[in-house]
Amino acid sequence: MKFLALLLCAAPLALAAVISEKVVTYDGYRVVRIATGGRVLFEKQLKSLDAVQLDPDTLAISPGDFPKFENMKLEYEILDKDLGASIVAEGGFSPGSASKRSVSSLDELKPGTFPSLAWFDEYHTFAEHQQWLVDIQDGFRENSELIEIGKSYEGRPINGIHLWGKGGKDSKPAVLWHSTAHAREWITTMVVEYLIFGLITGYNSKNDQVRSILDKYDFFIIPVVNPDGFVYSKTTNRLWRKNRQPHPTHSCIGIDINRNWGHKWEVITPASWSSSNPCDEVFRGVAPDMAPEVLAVTKHAKSLAANKGIKLYIDWHSFSQKILLAYGYTCDKQVPGYERSMSLAKGVAAAIEGAHQKKFTPGSSCRNLYQFSGGSTDWMQDVVSAEISWCIELRPTGWAGFLLPASQIRASGEEQWEGMMYLLSNM
């Protein structure tokens, strides 16, 4: 996209890091959804615009380049007349807060008060999420530990929590949850934390269903897989998606963490939304597994698979309200156990709908979302043989897209809680 080109690509490499800190406000940017046919036909011209791609058919276009876009005479609808105003209304984007010191390890933090549901009334910074993990773990000391599975490109810890029930730690098959691999998908961290909160408070209050679930599985939950991108989305560019790793020869920054996993990474078809262009939102990296974040999560998953195996993997994303089975790389192949996994996904969708009447559509990634390779669920399915390997795309279905109002965090958590209680009790 050209706005990145202006910021980075034309700049000498030494300046790139400095210039890339320029805050992008998106004032006056319009969000448009383009009819697929036109999008494919005009791909090259669209890429030359000062714009950011939100999904294959949705772009946020700068006010300066909007006339150029209109001249293409494509069929489109406007989803948001002023993206900058929507970002301000959402809250949580704080330009300039980058200077605040980041945590380098959870050991540096002292536990405070056990979290309350009020946590889920607003979005939070990376440092606040780290403190939250320390606080909640302190209220479940006998049955949990904090884990650090690696470091991000910029050296931030990739942290999580490990929960277990009777029988002690590492004695049961693993349930593994990842969220915020894509930096701008803030709701995913909040929802996963809501699930952690529900599991811990449920176990502590002797809820029978929660106890039997935690007694059966070891949970490993990583709320922010992409800390550098997440911090950048908070301080500099609300719609940042990738990590913050420089390219070896090109000045565009970042690898799409959900395109860099080393299984079928090399498969790129004209229809797939994975790219070898470093400036694209879905840049897959110059080699598989080259993002340190991907290396950290794959190493961790391999260790779980080698121990008691992975019963369930979920990579939480937003948006579009879908429950996605592998595969993403091909539409021509079903995963082993497809019928059973689909039947569970339908049960989860019904449980979610029962909470707040939101419809979530189950199906394979390729057929139900779009084709893409180098994704986490394909890897978990085939490389470490996770019994169930899904991606869940959270609220909403249309625009506000990634800018889900904070007033919907609790309801999002509540409906996923219902979905997970169904899944974990029936799988």
Cis preceding linkage at 396, omega within 30: yes
Q: How far is the CB of 378 from Zn ion (least distance, A)?
A: 14
CB-wise, 50 or 378, nearer to Zn ion?
Answer: 378
Q: Show the CA angle centred on residue 177, arms to residues 188 and 170, nearest 5°.
A: 150
Nearer to Zn ion, 130 or 258 (CB): 258
Burial letters 66-100, b for 16+ CB under 10 A, else e: beebeeeebebeebbebbbebbeebeebeeeeeee
Q: Cα–Cα distance between 69 and 420 in angstroms, integer?
A: 43
Nearest C-alpha neighbor of 412 from the set 342, 321, 297: 321
Stretch that binds Zn ion, among 176-184, 221-229, 243-251, 382-390 (CB under 5 A): 176-184
Query: Is residue 259 involved in binding Zn ion (CB under 5 A)?
Result: no
Task: Kindly report whether the peptide bond that precedes residue 319 is cis, defined as omega within 30 degrees of 0.
Answer: yes
CB of 282 to Zn ion, least distance (A): 10
Cβ proximity to Zn ion: between 259 and 317 the closer is 317
DSSP state of 98: G
At 411, the amino acid letter reads A
The secondary structure of residue 71, as a DSSP letter, is: H
Residues annotated as catalytic are: 393
Count of residues near Zn ion by CB under 5 A: 2
Residue 30: how many CA atoms within 13 Å on its side-chain side? 16
Which of 162, 182, 259, 410: binder of Zn ion (CB under 5 A)? 182
Nearer to Zn ion, 284 or 317 (CB): 317
Residue 187 or 348 having the CB closest to Zn ion: 187
Shortest Cβ distance from residue 393 to Zn ion (Å)?
7
Q: How far apart are CA 253 and CA 279, in angstroms?
A: 7
By CB under 5 A, which span of 49-57, 90-98, 175-183, 402-410 interacts with Zn ion? 175-183
Q: How far is the CB of 182 from Zn ion (least distance, A)?
A: 3
Report in angstroms how near the CB of residue 11 gets to Zn ion at its nearest: 28
Interacting residues with Zn ion between 379 and 418 (CB under 5 A): none
Site for Zn ion in 80-119 (CB under 5 A): none
CB of 68 to Zn ion, least distance (A): 28
Which string of x and - marks every residue 316-355 that binds Zn ion (by CB under 5 A)? -x--------------------------------------
- Asked if residue 293 lies in contact with residue 231, where contact means CB atoms within 8 angstroms, the answer is no
User: What binding mask, one character per residue, do residues 283-322 give for Zn ion by CB under 5 A, x or -?
Assistant: ----------------------------------x-----
Could you tell me if 337 and 387 are in contact, meaning their C-beta atoms sit under 8 angstroms apart?
A: yes
Cβ distance to Zn ion smaller for residue 218 or 378 = 378
Cα–Cα distance measured from residue 164 to residue 140, given in angstroms and rounded to the nearest whole number: 10
Q: What is the CA radius of gyration of the chain?
A: 21
Is residue 50 a contact partner of residue 1, using CB atoms and an 8 Å limit? Answer: yes
Question: What sign results for the dihedral spanned by CA atoms 75, 89, 180, 189?
Answer: negative
- Nearest CA to 102 out of 128, 124, 123, 120 is that of 128
Of the ranges 64-72, 174-182, 212-220, 287-295, which one interacts with Zn ion (CB under 5 A)?
A: 174-182
For Zn ion, give the closer residue by CB, 182 or 263: 182
| Between 164 and 319, CB nearer to Zn ion | 319
Q: How many whole angstroms separate alpha carbon 259 and alpha carbon 293?
A: 12
Nearest approach, Cβ of residue 397 and Zn ion (Å): 15
Least distance between Zn ion and beta carbon 15 (Å): 30
Task: Tell me which residues touch Zn ion (CB under 5 A).
Answer: 182, 317
